Structure formats: structure tokens, C-alpha cells
Structure 1
Amino acid sequence: MAEMEHESGLDTSLLPKKESERKLGKLAYMSLWLGDGVNLGNMTLGSSLVVAGVAMMNIYQTFVAAAIAISIISIIFSLNDRLGYKSGIPYVVHLRMSFGVKGSIVSSLLRGIPALVWYGFQSWIGATALNEISKIVLGIDQPFVMFVILQVVQIGLSLYGFHAIKWVESVISTVIMLALVYVLFLLITEHSAQISTTWVHAEGTWGIEFWGFIMAFMGNYAAIFLSAADYSRELRPGIGNGERSMLYFFPIILAYGTVLCIGAMLASVTGVSNPAKAIPILVNNPAISVFISAFIVMGAIAVNMVANIVPPTYVITLLTKMNYKAAVTLSGILAACTFPWVLVQDSSAVGLTYFILIYSAFLGPIVAILLIEYYILRQQKVDIDELYRPDGEFAGYNKAAIVAMLIGAAAAFVKVELAWVIGLVVAGIAYYILMGQTEMGAVFRKGTIFEKKE
């Protein structure tokens, strides 16, 4: 390991994880995804279904769309996490398999930048809730101060890596679910008539909005299952592929089912798309508002620690050669520079959905390229040592991968509502053809099925 670190020039956090270092069991891993799903950003996606008092889809269409999206997410998650699970490598090294050592820089940024935006977004949601507590308890209304405090706390927790994530998720995810079940109970018992009229029995549509919501839903997870190796490398060995897919499916469907409902119901009742502001309006009780707001803060911390801190930290470590702790600190600072207070405005709800669709237009193609490479071209056989050699067989950049990614993204923009799936399919086909039929990927054919044909 020391030799690999010296040869690769990478920080130890990016080296393959040994089996003895993997501490996450099945329950802890499920708690991780439960905590990630139960957050205000995902609830905002639910609230985006109701615009100006009119629901784009009714409750049945919403749940069918969610079930389709989560099923696909779980399958792709368990497919793309396999190399990381088997070898212990992180996502930024996983990328080298297809894009090359230099080419992986561009593709890793396409994962890291959205994560920083979501990091800032979730932090501002949490800061809004923390400010509600401050107003009730201390009479102080300073959301920006609360934002700074929350960022400092999150950076401090993140310095301990997945050791902190494990206990934070295990505790917070359960408590958050209980708090949100209470909010769901209030909505159903006190506002059922309004919710029924606005959302449950809305005419809705099975058309482009329905499929667009599925794409937005998947786009919300596109960045996470793209970097699946970052999480599976922490999971204890001995868990089968099908079993791992269930470790994603059950917590995601439980968490998302709850928050989507609450988001749509809150928007129906209050007309406010920011859940952190809508929940206190609904409860209208200072003591309970403090209780609920506290768990909103915890939820923001939980989702950031899972989905939005580790990926950009690894990218920064890769690009700058910083150690893990310095990169974690820089991630927190950069997240604060994304102006998240703009993203949470009521007028930005639709824009947020389009932001997801646009960046997923690039992430879908990258997922396709990695899956085609690993399962078809290399048939699950990758020389891990070579991935860490700057001048090895993966040196430079793979033109075929970069061009296929751009072709997939361009196709995705033709119909942005279906961006993720269009980009995935087109890029996968383009990559296979470019690798086998052109000279673009000739240097990267070693170890693939095309090497035997030359």
C-alpha cells in the first residue's frame, strides 16, 4: 500500500480500502440511505408538484413514478457499486478505467460540482430551520449567522470521515422519520379535505410531466449512484449483488415515499415550497416548531455527510493533492459560495428541477460509459494496480469516452425533461461503437474484448 501511495502520488484516502477497514454493516448501510432520503431537498421535489395551487400529478401518478424511478435507481446502484465493493477503490479512481488518468479530471468535476451545490442547498435549508429555533428561543433572527455555524459543525463532523457518518446516520435517520411521520399525521388529520382536492384527486397527467418527474427523481440520485464506489468500499464484505440492491431499494422507497407525500401536502396546504418555512406554518406551536426544526437541522447534516461532502472532497484531494481533512474544509467553504439562499426561493423551485435535469444530462452518459466498460468491454476484470500508475495503461485521456459523453449529453438536451435516460442510452451505444470501430479508444483497448480482435 505504501508503494502504491508513493507511485500514484495520491493521498491515502484514495487508495483501495482493505476488507479489515470496512466497518459498515447492513443495518448501518441502510440507515445511511434512509438518512440521505429523508431530507428537505427531496421534500422540495415533492412540493414542486404543486405550482400556484395546481398539482401537475395526482397521488397515484406520483407513487407510480416514484416506484419506477426507485427500482431503476436500485438496479443501477448495485451494478455500478460492484467494482468499488470488490476492490475498495473510490469513484475518482473508478473513472480512470474509462476516461484515463487525465480524462477522469473532467468527469470527476461533473460529479463534484453538483455535490457542492447540493451541500450548500441542504445547509441553507438546515440553517433556515436553525434560525426558526433561534427566533423562538432567543429572539434572534440571523439566518446567515446560523448558516455559518452549521457549516462549521458539518466540517468538524466530516473530518472523521465515515466513522462519523456511521453514527450520525444511525441515530438521526430513525428520529427524523418519526418526526416526519408526526407531520404527516397532522397533514392528514387536519387538512385532508384541502389536500384531497389539490393533490390526491387532481386530474394530473401520465404524459411528459409524468416521465419528466421520473427523470428528475432519477436525476436527484444520478450523482450519488454515479459515485457508488465511494460508499460500497465502506461496506463489509460477503454481501451478494442482489442483496446489496435491496439495501438501496427499501430505505430509499421508505424515505422518499414519506418526504414526497409531505412535500406535496405542505405545498397544497401552505402554498410555500420551502419545507423549512412551511412546517412551522402548519404546526403553529412554538414548542413543537422547535422540535421539528431541530430534526430538520439534523436531516440537513445527515444528507450532506452521505451525499454531498465525501464526493467533492475526494475530487479536491485528487486535483490538489491535499490531505482528506484539508479537502473537507475546502469543500465546506466552496459550498457556502454557491449562494444557496437563492436556490430555496419559492420562485426557484422549478429552476431547481431543471438544474437537476441539466447536470444529469452529463451524469447519465458517464454511468453508461462505466457500465459498458466494466461489464461488456472488460467483463468485470480490471487491473487495479494499473489504475494507480500515472504512466500505466490508463495514462492520459480516452478520447472515445469524452466524445461519447458529449454525444450523450447533446442528445439529452434535445428533450431535457428526459435528459437522464436519453443521455444514458445514446452515450452507451456511442461508447461501444467508438471503442470498437474507431482509433479514438485504441490506446485503451488493452484488457477489453476489442484487444482480441486487433
Structure 2
Amino acid sequence: MNTYLLAERTFGSYGARILINLVVSGIPVFAWYGIETWLAAAAIAVLTGWDIGGQGTLDLPTKIFTIITGIVMAIPPILGITSIAYIDYVAIPIMVALVIYGLYLGITAGVTGLLEYVPPTYSSATVLANFMIALNVVIGLIIVGATIGADTARWIRPSKRDVIMACLLGFFATAVFMETIGTFFAVTAVKAGLDPSLSWNMVLVLKQLGVAAGPLWPLLVGAWLLQFATKMLNAYSGGPALTVTVERASLRPWLTLAGALIGSIVAVLGIVWYWIPYLTTLANWVSPVAAILLTEYYLIRRMRKEISEKTSKVRIESLVGWFFGGFSAYLLSSYTPYFVPSIIGMAIASAIHAIGAKLSKRF
């Protein structure tokens, strides 16, 4: 089942529509789609000498190429999972090339020195707090990816071994490894003179490292293709989320294309940049959704595979658990950044959902 169907049986049909479209996928994934589309276009813009700007300061060629990229990236998700797989066959070797280059940077600069690096604008008193904030964002985004992962994971062969291998090796291990390599890239670029506040931008990182002017320029083309591969999955998840809202399956291709196009236009206009704090904060609100889905399956349904055709419109205990879990994570991330708020939010949401389900005699 896809993410929406799982949520529908846990939060109710109306509750799932609200959460999936506003918090998990739907609008959020197409907003990220716009940001990543701009990054993909920026990779080519760096090679051609266009102004990649930021927050609405793109020049006309970059704007046009961003829109074109957004439309092209939406085609494989419209065609289906097989088309996405074909793109990945090309993107994965390029990702390996970037990883090798990142490892080279880490070994050359010294891994210990990279891990101990502190930006000049940071004091020793704030390092721990900022590290915990960054850790929460990373863990939260991994949870977000895992939550919408059902949209593609449902195509895995239905055996425990295949699912476990895909989860541990294909998702979590890869995510941790790639975050480490990304750290090598970012710190090396900052040491080379990049503004630390821009180190999240892979294109500017590669540009600072001299990739655009040297023999490694194909890595920027590879960065465009990697964004292609990433955003295909966002569009693939966002399309069904919008489709169930209008209750017309035949509109899925058009809604997918519309979401991709609107996300790209919003990125070009610069509006999406004001959404970034909201989109980042969503990591605190998505983790309780994941916790409640897991609690529902493992504790309440006790891993039963049969699914009732009758679905509640709203399940109060699920929504209450989600709200208090998300609100707790939000408060902790805002005022006490010495924990991992997304994990604590998961625990609170799971407990409230389980207690509510027990009181309502669901198990």
C-alpha cells in the first residue's frame, strides 16, 4: 500500500487527507521539488556562467531552464515506477563517482580535522546546541524519507528478508554514509572560503572546490542528474496524495505535472525560500506520523495483514497523539536543543495513540 492508504486506516479518511497533503507529502514534497529543481538548474548554470542567484535573483536563462527541468523531471513519475528505475540505473553510478570524490577530499584533508572543524562564527559554548539542532534535522529528514518510502517500497518483493535488506542497507546505511560524505564536501568548501551559511548548497560547494573550471566538471552534470533522481520520487509520492483529495484517479498524471510545475514556478519567483523554515520544521511533525503508523501495525493490529474495507472518517486518538507528539518535538527543538526532539515526539505520539486505542477497545 502507498503512504496515503496506510495513513487512511490509521488516521481515518479525512485525517489522512489533511496530514498527507499538508504535513507528509502533497504540498511539502512539491515545495521541496521546487527547491531541488532550482539546485539542478543551478548545476548547469554554473557551467554556462549564468547567475544562479538565490531567493528570487535568478537571471532569465536560469529561470527558463529551472521551469524546463521541473517539467522534464515530472515525466518519469507520470509514466510510472519502471521509468524511475531506468533513470536510477544511470544516476547511481554518478552518485558513486561523487562519493569517491568526497572520500578523496576526506582522506586528503584528514578525516579527524574535518570532524573537529568549528566554523569561525561559532563559539565553543554553542557548538553542542548547534550540533543537536543539525542532528535533529538530519534524523527528522531521514524519518520523512522513510515515511513516504512506502510509495516505492511497496514494489519490493514481499519477503521479510528483502524488506529488511532494503531498509537497513538501501536506506538507513546509505543515508548515514551519504550524510558523512556530504559533511566532507561542505567542510572542505567552507575551509576553502565558502560562506558557512551556504554549505547546504551542493552546487555552490562544488563550485567553491573548483569543479566547474577543472576536469571534474562532469560532476556538475552528475549533480543535475542526481537531483533528477531525487525529485522523481517526490513527484511520485506527491501525485497520489493530491489525487486522493479530489477522488479521481484518472487525474493523477495531470496533478503530478501541475504540482511539479507550480513548485518550479514558486522556486523561480523566490516564494519557496520563505517556506524553508516551515518545511524544515515539518520534520518534527512527520516523525509522530511515522510513530503512529508503526504503533498501529505492530501493537494494535499485531502485524495482521488483512485490511478491513471499512475506514473511519476520523480517528481521534491518532490525531491527538500526532498533535501532542509534534508539538512536543517542536517545543524541544525551539527551546531545548539538547535532545533529539523528533525521537521524543515519536515516543509521545506512540504512547498517546496506544493508550487511546486501548481505551476505545481497538485492541
Whether 2:25 is the aligned partner of 1:99: answer no
Matching residue within 147, 168, 191 for 2:87: 168
Deviations 1:37-77 (A, max 9, x none): xxxxxxxxxxxxxxxxxxxxxxxxxxxxxxxxxxxxxxxxx
3-state DSSP class of the match of 2:215? helix
Whether 2:314 is the aligned partner of 1:400: answer no
> Does the 8 A contact of 2:321 with 2:349 survive in 1?
yes
3-state DSSP class of the match of 1:362? helix
Cα distance in structure 2, aligned partners of 1:173 and 1:343 = 31
The verdict on how the C-alpha distance between 1:220 and 1:343 changes in structure 2, with shifts beyond 3 A counting, is farther
After TM superposition, the structure 1 = structure 2 runs for residues 362-373 of structure 1, keeping only pairs within 5 Å, are 362-373=285-296
Q: In the alignment, what sits opposite 1:410? A: 327
Deviations 1:376-407 (A, max 9, x none): 11101153251xxxxx2x23111111111111
**Cα distance, 1:409 vs. partner?**
1.7
> Does the 8 A contact of 1:364 with 1:424 survive in 2?
yes
Cα distance in structure 1, aligned partners of 2:84 and 2:319 = 33
3-state DSSP class of the match of 2:83? helix
Q: In the alignment, what sits opposite 1:125? A: 39
Whether 2:215 is the aligned partner of 1:288: answer yes
**Cα distance, 1:322 vs. partner?**
4.4
Whether 2:172 is the aligned partner of 1:228: answer no
Q: In the alignment, what sits opposite 1:218? A: 139
Q: Which amino acid aligns with 1:276?
A: V
Cα distance in structure 2, aligned partners of 1:313 and 1:362 = 21
Cα distance in structure 2, aligned partners of 1:207 and 1:135 = 39
Whether 2:306 is the aligned partner of 1:379: answer no
Cα distance in structure 2, aligned partners of 1:314 and 1:372 = 24
After TM superposition, the structure 1 = structure 2 runs for residues 321-360 of structure 1, keeping only pairs within 5 Å, are 321-323=248-250, 324-339=252-267, 342=270, 352=276, 354-355=277-278, 357-360=280-283
Q: Which amino acid aligns with 2:235?
A: I
Q: In the alignment, what sits opposite 2:236? A: 310
Q: Which amino acid aligns with 1:175?
A: I
> Does the 8 A contact of 2:136 with 2:341 survive in 1?
yes
The verdict on how the C-alpha distance between 1:233 and 1:199 changes in structure 2, with shifts beyond 3 A counting, is closer
Q: Which amino acid aligns with 1:210?
A: F
**Cα distance, 1:120 vs. partner?**
0.9
Q: Taking every aligned residue pair, what percent have the same amino acid on both sides?
A: 17
Whether 2:77 is the aligned partner of 1:158: answer yes
> Does the 8 A contact of 1:266 with 1:278 survive in 2?
yes
Matching residue within 204, 209, 223 for 1:277: 204
Q: In the alignment, what sits opposite 1:35? A: none
3-state DSSP class of the match of 2:156? coil
Cα distance in structure 2, aligned partners of 1:277 and 1:357 = 20
CA RMSD of aligned residues (A): 3.0
**Cα distance, 1:344 vs. partner?**
9.5
> Does the 8 A contact of 2:67 with 2:265 survive in 1?
no
3-state DSSP class of the match of 1:293? helix
Unpaired stretches in structure 1, ≥5 consecutive residues: 1-88, 387-391, 450-454
> Does the 8 A contact of 2:3 with 2:150 survive in 1?
yes
Q: Which amino acid aligns with 1:304?
A: K
Cα distance in structure 1, aligned partners of 2:78 and 2:167 = 29
Cα distance in structure 1, aligned partners of 2:38 and 2:255 = 21
> Does the 8 A contact of 1:128 with 1:143 survive in 2?
yes
**Cα distance, 1:239 vs. partner?**
4.3
Q: Which amino acid aligns with 2:292?
A: I
Cα distance in structure 2, aligned partners of 1:284 and 1:92 = 41
> Does the 8 A contact of 1:365 with 1:409 survive in 2?
yes
More displaced 10-residue stretch of structure 1: 314-323 or 369-378: 314-323
Paired residues in the alignment total: 335
Deviations 1:256-312 (A, max 9, x none): 322222122222323242331232232265363641221110011011113x11121
The verdict on how the C-alpha distance between 1:428 and 1:309 changes in structure 2, with shifts beyond 3 A counting, is same
Whether 2:245 is the aligned partner of 1:319: answer yes
Q: In the alignment, what sits opposite 1:431? A: 353
**Cα distance, 1:91 vs. partner?**
0.8
3-state DSSP class of the match of 1:339? helix
Deviations 1:113-152 (A, max 9, x none): 221121111110001112123338xxx9721011011112
Matching residue within 195, 218, 226 for 1:299: 226
Q: In the alignment, what sits opposite 1:259? A: 182
Whether 2:68 is the aligned partner of 1:149: answer yes
**Cα distance, 1:208 vs. partner?**
3.2
- TM-score, with structure 1 as normaliser: 0.66
Cα distance in structure 2, aligned partners of 1:161 and 1:382 = 26
Cα distance in structure 1, aligned partners of 2:183 and 2:87 = 23
The verdict on how the C-alpha distance between 1:206 and 1:284 changes in structure 2, with shifts beyond 3 A counting, is closer
Cα distance in structure 2, aligned partners of 1:100 and 1:395 = 5
Q: In the alignment, what sits opposite 2:48? A: 134
Unpaired stretches in structure 2, ≥5 consecutive residues: 51-58, 119-123
Cα distance in structure 2, aligned partners of 1:341 and 1:186 = 35
